């Protein structure tokens, strides 16, 4: 007879969407840990941690942008192939998407959402953060975490595998995202936890329609998605380091515009 743990592990391996559920749970758990214990960390230590996070995010974004490596083994290729997307497509997609985001005023919309959620997040405000800064910090944490957790080939390919009952890639991603959530929540607050919603919707949607969208996720599309997303992640690093704050909310559509252009032109 199959034992309880073995049966549970079998269901986790076979149930489509289990990888995304574990990933979302890891983000929420990591955020909770960061919020609960972040107050115990002195301000100077948090400032140093923020600088380390900023440098790491900047480096990660630049690496993704300049050298997007896609593992095509799950796409019936073999090995780890460095595929360099067309830079004109990446630039054009970000410009067009940025213009669309500016016209739609997505950044302002995100700020309004942050203000409305201000009351809910007030009790979870990191130590030393004034109420006047809460709205911006909430949006900053939400956008930062959402980009870090959603952008990249690991999220796309892992979600496709999850739809086939093979969530191992997303389990690894869940571990990485959970650790990142602890660190981010310590400095950016409750907005990091809110990223679990777009993360669940994004990866869950890919899992649900994995069989139908797989033919469209070509190497140019995945590489362009990773590269353009990496540029926005690098922009987050500049913001965290207090070097330059860019309208990331308005630039978000550029990632998807670039990916669509890559499918037709890449």
The whole-angstrom separation of Cα 93 and Cα 123 is 39
Question: What is the band of 6 on the pLDDT scale with cuts at 50, 70, 90?
Answer: very low
Which of the two residues, 187 and 11, has the higher pLDDT score?
187
The whole-angstrom separation of Cα 34 and Cα 31 is 5
pLDDT of residue 106: 85
Question: What is the band of 261 on the pLDDT scale with cuts at 50, 70, 90?
Answer: very high
pLDDT of residue 255: 87
Which of the two residues, 201 and 152, has the higher pLDDT score?
201
The answer to whether residue 43 scores a pLDDT higher than 90 is no
- The predicted-structure confidence for 117-169, as pLDDT tens digits, reads as follows 555 545 444 445 454 455 567 777 888 888 888 876 678 767 877 876 778 77
The stretch 234-252 carries a mean pLDDT of: 85
Percent of the chain with pLDDT over 70: 76
Structure tokens at 47: 């400032």
Which of the two residues, 102 and 5, has the higher pLDDT score?
102
Question: Which among 145, 196, 161, 213 is positioned nearest to 17, based on CA atoms?
Answer: 161
Question: What is the band of 216 on the pLDDT scale with cuts at 50, 70, 90?
Answer: confident
| pTM metric for this prediction | 0.70
The whole-angstrom separation of Cα 182 and Cα 223 is 28
Say if residues 245 and 207 touch (Cβ distance below 8 Å). Answer: no
The stretch 109-113 carries a mean pLDDT of: 72
Which of the two residues, 94 and 152, has the higher pLDDT score?
94
The stretch 56-70 carries a mean pLDDT of: 81
């Amino acid at each position: 007879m199959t034992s309880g743990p073995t049966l549970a592990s079998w269901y986790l391996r076979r149930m489509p969407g289990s990888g995304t559920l574990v990933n979302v749970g890891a983000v929420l758990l990591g955020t909770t840990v960061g919020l609960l214990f972040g107050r115990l960390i002195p301000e100077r230590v948090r400032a140093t941690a923020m600088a380390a996070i900023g440098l790491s995010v900047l480096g990660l974004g630049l690496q993704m942008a300049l050298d997007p490596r896609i593992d095509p083994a799950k796409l019936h290729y073999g090995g780890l192939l460095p595929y360099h997307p067309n830079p004109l497509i990446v630039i054009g997609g970000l410009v067009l998407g940025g213009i669309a985001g500016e016209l739609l005023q997505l950044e302002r919309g995100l700020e309004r959402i942050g203000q409305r959620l201000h009351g809910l997040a007030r009790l979870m405000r990191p130590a030393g953060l004034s109420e006047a800064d809460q709205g911006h910090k909430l949006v900053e944490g939400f956008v930062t975490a959402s980009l870090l957790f959603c952008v990249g080939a690991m999220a796309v390919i892992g979600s496709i595998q999850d739809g086939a009952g093979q969530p191992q890639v997303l389990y690894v991603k869940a571990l990485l995202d959970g650790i990142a959530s602890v660190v981010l929540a310590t400095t950016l607050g409750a907005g990091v936890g809110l990223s679990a919603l777009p993360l669940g919707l994004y990866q869950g949607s890919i899992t649900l329609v994995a069989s139908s969208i797989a033919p469209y996720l070509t190497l140019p599309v995945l590489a362009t998605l990773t590269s353009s997303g990496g540029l926005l992640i690098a922009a987050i690093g500049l913001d965290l380091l207090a070097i330059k704050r860019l309208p990331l909310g308005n630039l978000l559509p550029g990632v998807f515009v670039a990916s669509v252009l890559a499918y037709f032109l890449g």
